[in-house]
C-alpha cells in the first residue's frame, strides 16, 4: 500500500513559479510510474506529467511542455513538479498519483492505483 501526500501549492501571479512535492509512504518500486494530474472547477481531471521510476523517463501534456519539469528523488521517495511561467489556466487542484504497473499510455487516468488528496494551485492574472 502506498500513501501519497502533496505539498507546495499556493497563490502565485502569472509568470511566477511553484514547486510541488509528493511524498510517498511505503516503497516505490522500479515498476511504478508516478504522475501529476490536475482538475479545474467544472472540468475533468487531466494529465499533467509522469515519470517512470525505473529509468526516469518523463512525459508531459502539450499544455505544460517546456514550462513544467517532473523529477524524482529515489532516496527520499518523492516526486516533484517544478512549474514555471505559470498561467491563469494552470489554476487547479493538483494530484499526485502512482501506477504500480507502469502501464502505457502514461496519461491514462484509470491506470493509476494510488492518489493523493491534492493541493490547490491558484494563478492570478
> Average of pLDDT values for 94-122?
95
State whether the Cα torsion 80-118-4-102 is positive or negative: negative
Closest C-alpha among 28, 23, 17, 25 to residue 82? 17
Looking at residue 109, its pLDDT comes to 95
- pLDDT band of 81, cuts 50, 70, 90: very high
| Residue 31 per-residue DSSP state | T
**Using one digit for the tens of pLDDT, what is the confidence trace for 67-76?**
999 999 988 8
Give per-residue burial for 37-68: e unless 16+ CB within 10 Å, then b. Answer: bbeeeeeebebbbbbbbeeeeebbbeebeeeb
Supply the pLDDT for residue 33: 95
Residue 118 main-chain phi, psi, to 5 deg: 100, 155
- Cα–Cα–Cα angle for 97, 52, 121, rounded to 5 degrees: 40
Amino acid at each position: 500500500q502506498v500513501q501519497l501526500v502533496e505539498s507546495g501549492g499556493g497563490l502565485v501571479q502569472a509568470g511566477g513559479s511553484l514547486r510541488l512535492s509528493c511524498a510517498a509512504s511505503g516503497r516505490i518500486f522500479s515498476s511504478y510510474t508516478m504522475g501529476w494530474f490536475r482538475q479545474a472547477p467544472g472540468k475533468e481531471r487531466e494529465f499533467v506529467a509522469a515519470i517512470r521510476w525505473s529509468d526516469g523517463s518523463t512525459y508531459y501534456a502539450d499544455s505544460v511542455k517546456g514550462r513544467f519539469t517532473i523529477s524524482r528523488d529515489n532516496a527520499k521517495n518523492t516526486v516533484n513538479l517544478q512549474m514555471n511561467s505559470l498561467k491563469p489556466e494552470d489554476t487547479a487542484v493538483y494530484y499526485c498519483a502512482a501506477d504500480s504497473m507502469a502501464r502505457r499510455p502514461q496519461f491514462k487516468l484509470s491506470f493509476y492505483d494510488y492518489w493523493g488528496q491534492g493541493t490547490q494551485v491558484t494563478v492570478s492574472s
